Structure 1
Amino acid sequence: MTIDTALIPRLRAALDRDEAVGLLRRAVRTPSVTGTEAAFARLLAEELSALGAADVQLDAFAPDRPNVRGRLPGAGGGPTLLLTGHTDTVHVRGWREKWAGTEREDPFGGAVVDGALWGRGSGDLKAGICTTLAAARLLAAAGLRAPADLQFAFIGDEESGEPETGVSAGMKAFVAQIEAGAVPRPDFAVYVEPTQLNVYAAQMGFLICDITVTGRSAYFGVPELGIDALKASHAILGALFAHSARLEARAPHGLVGHPFLLVTTIEGGGYIAVPGECRISLILKLLPGESLDQAVAELEAAVGSAPLDPGIRLAFAYPAGRDHRLGGTPSETAPDLPAVRLLVEAVKAVRPDRGAIEGASYWSEAPFLVNRLGIPAVYCAPGDIRNCHTLEEHVVIEDYLDGVVAFAAFLATYGKP
């Protein structure tokens, strides 16, 4: 498989720029903060039906929280390509205050300013979702048909931050459908997290650990009657920082870099008294090939090595289970896989400055496909992760439109003999 050099100008000529940008604006104007994905899922179902997709379904993974999927049959006899991403976004707290009195004030307005489309979810990752839909529409406009069957699946509950959500409930339900045979098993998957149109073939794993340090409170005048949890936490912090240094000294992964541990929160204390309880929260980064179970064993051993009063009690909790009960596993897809090389070639044919093979400095849901199902998957889409989850979230319109052309070239070629 290789990209036909005549394909790119043909696709550029057939691209309806206003239609593609209009699709993205409609997406951003449909709020879908985690837990409220239903309206956006219904919009995507309508778009898939308008494309002529078969088997368009809204599958509830929780009450009024549906995934949406559909299938565009290929020319016949080809593989199945999964195009997937999450429908939910992070919150918009502080957005209106920051942009008050400007055209960007509405976080769901889809304002176009200085060549970029602004709004919550514009980069993470509605530009990616719209890129796949606009690319499929562009193929039809150019008189082309994908050799592969195209399976679209847009799922909820990926983002963290809202109460009792953000545990990949949507992806867990979708993967279960593949395992049960209710959805065709894809041969390759592109998950449309923002990558600036580079191709992320590997990603970090992670765990979040909450450590509760319990001593015994006592009046400040008789501290000998207490067991100081804050003093114990100081020793534990020293052990954690030393453990992070050991992790960082390990050989880096070529795409993902070094592992590390970051303490994110410490809280506790008493009112003019010996602190009886403290809480420490941390996040730990793993590299492809590393085990979450082993990482937890090493972490708890490091904490256990701290010099503590015998009366101190420790409790460990791991609240961010994703594809593993303890967190999210790292994953990797071979960069020299033909499908990966073809996607790189398609991007570079449109944007020679993009299409680099890189690794994700975030965790998203490709490990469900790669590790659980054995389906090779990469991340690729327009958008810059560095402005996502911030009050500066936007996507450059030309990057988005270049992504539409590049994806269309990939779809027109993937699965050819």
Structure 2
Amino acid sequence: MSAALTERLLAAQDRDADLRLLKDALSVESVTGNETPFARFLEQQMAALGLATGAGAFLPGRENTWATTAGAEGPNLMILGHTDTVHVRGWEAHWDAQCPNDPRRDPFGGVEREGQIWGRGASDLKGGICTAIAAMRLLRRAGVNLQGRVTLAFIGDEESGEPGSGVSAGAKDLVQRVRAGEIAKPDFALYVEPTGLDVYTAQIGFFIAELTLTGKTAYFGTPELGVDALKATHAVLSALWAHEAELAAGPKHDLVGASSLLVTGVEGGGFIAVPGQCKLSLIRKLRPGEDLDDAIARFEAVLGQVDLAAGLSLTIDYPAGRDHPKGGSAVEIPRDAAPAQLLAECVRQSWSEAGRIGGAPYWSEMPFLTEMIGCPAVYCAPGDIAVAHTYEERIASDEYLAAIRAFALFIARYCGSPDI
């Protein structure tokens, strides 16, 4: 059955239309905060397939969109991804310095070159979104009707980096609509973060911490009148790096490795005077099985053991709350879960180079599904996370086209169909 359906999907696929869909998607700028134009583009694409569409603001002027099929006699599959991308500041200057007049200098050009489609969001994750929509279109072209239901949901505010945004406001709104019954609760979810078409059943967690050490500035000629925050920072950094070494030597998860801590920035001083304030930024990675509250408590205990001089204070801010007020949870589902194994099998039939079970070395919005609405979920989509957020973001055309067939095969087999 599966082999025959694979051949049927291959024969029905419209390569040019699928590539055009992706190029058109890339032409719509959707940097975090400006998701609505792309959400409306997607709503139009889904409506053209005869799906029942919906849309709603998750914050003023910023919209999510979703659509569902009519089937209701089988399981409910949700395929979702975020509509926002990171910024494009510096993109054109990069390309002008490397290759003047290269058409890839346009981050929204969707240029096809050397078997790759280039542009902001190609990998992260408009390639995955277009894969899902094109897979639904392919099933329609191949005459495959579904017994179960498919919900496509595309949500904003996943990326961080723009002021006042990047707190998963779109995912929080989606969860509320599922709980209220406005969107049907899925039995399984596929989130289209780039995985190279492997199937990720686990992901890391994280928290970001911003530390401020405050002392007292004083003229350099009379340093005894000040309290040196920069000197205290040395002791804090030493404690943090010792904690980092402890984590690296600790337990490891076989799919995502050990927990870690990385100091990402230090800022202090700048005047010819005793530094009165110093700021540190860091990110802490959690492996599945670690509780975020416990990790924060352990981190704060490390800082509490630092002997600060009189007149010094230390404050901690956690600016990146996601499913947790201070960060994002690490989660996993059983790697032998039947839908995950089925998806991996469908990928291998369409793209033999992939279909492995793995773990995400990044954080995305799986916990909103697994922890908040009790829906098992995985990540799977074409694209390479290594080129995401870079000036050379791209996706391989053949991998993208194979992903469309793999998703269509999975949808048909998971939801069931009288036509296969």
Q: Provide TM-score, normalisation by structure 1.
A: 0.97
In 1, Cα distance between the equivalents of 2:147 and 2:215? 65
Q: Is the 8 A contact 1:147 1:413 kept in 2?
A: no
1:170 corresponds to: 170
Pairs within 5 Å for 1:70-81: 70-74=67-71, 76-81=72-77
In 1, Cα distance between the equivalents of 2:172 and 2:152? 16
Residues 30-79 of structure 1 deviation map (CA, whole Å, 9 limit, x = unaligned): 1100001111111100011001101x1121111221000010123x4101
In 1, Cα distance between the equivalents of 2:375 and 2:310? 49
1:189 corresponds to: 189
Say which of 78, 86, 89 aligns to 1:93: 89
Pairs within 5 Å for 1:2-81: 4-54=2-52, 56-74=53-71, 76-81=72-77
In 2, Cα distance between the equivalents of 1:133 and 1:185? 20
Misfit runs of 4+, over 3 Å: none
Query: What code does the residue aligned with 1:241 have?
Result: W
2:80 corresponds to: 84
Percentage identity across aligned positions?
A: 53
2:135 corresponds to: 135
Could you tell me how far 1:269 is from its partner in structure 2? 0.9
1:393 corresponds to: 393
2:316 corresponds to: 316
In 2, Cα distance between the equivalents of 1:162 and 1:242? 32
Q: Secondary structure at the match of 1:311?
A: coil
Could you tell me how far 1:374 is from its partner in structure 2? 1.3
Could you tell me how far 1:307 is from its partner in structure 2? 2.8
Residues 117-154 of structure 1 deviation map (CA, whole Å, 9 limit, x = unaligned): 00001110000000000000001111112332000100
Q: Secondary structure at the match of 1:373?
A: coil
In 1, Cα distance between the equivalents of 2:401 and 2:134? 9
Residues 5-54 of structure 1 deviation map (CA, whole Å, 9 limit, x = unaligned): 21111110100000000000010001100001111111100011001101
In 2, Cα distance between the equivalents of 1:335 and 1:291? 20
Q: Secondary structure at the match of 1:218?
A: coil
Query: What code does the residue aligned with 1:89 have?
Result: T
1:113 corresponds to: 113
Query: What code does the residue aligned with 1:298 have?
Result: R
1:349 corresponds to: 349
Q: Secondary structure at the match of 2:44?
A: helix
In 1, Cα distance between the equivalents of 2:197 and 2:90? 29
Query: What code does the residue aligned with 1:13 have?
Result: A
Query: What code does the residue aligned with 1:139 have?
Result: L
Could you tell me how far 1:98 is from its partner in structure 2? 1.6
Q: Secondary structure at the match of 1:262?
A: strand
Could you tell me how far 1:270 is from its partner in structure 2? 4.6
Name structure 1 gaps, 5 residues minimum.
none
Could you tell me how far 1:306 is from its partner in structure 2? 2.0
Q: Is the 8 A contact 1:263 1:280 kept in 2?
A: yes
Q: Secondary structure at the match of 2:139?
A: helix
In 1, Cα distance between the equivalents of 2:126 and 2:374? 26
In 2, Cα distance between the equivalents of 1:202 and 1:165? 25
Q: Secondary structure at the match of 2:42?
A: helix
Pairs within 5 Å for 1:246-325: 246-325=246-325
In 1, Cα distance between the equivalents of 2:250 and 2:197? 30
Residues 263-283 of structure 1 deviation map (CA, whole Å, 9 limit, x = unaligned): 000001151111110000000
Q: Secondary structure at the match of 1:182?
A: coil
1:329 corresponds to: 329
Compare 269-278 and 155-164 and name the one that shifted more.
Answer: 269-278
Name structure 2 gaps, 5 residues minimum.
none
In 2, Cα distance between the equivalents of 1:256 and 1:374? 22
Q: Provide TM-score, normalisation by structure 2.
A: 0.97
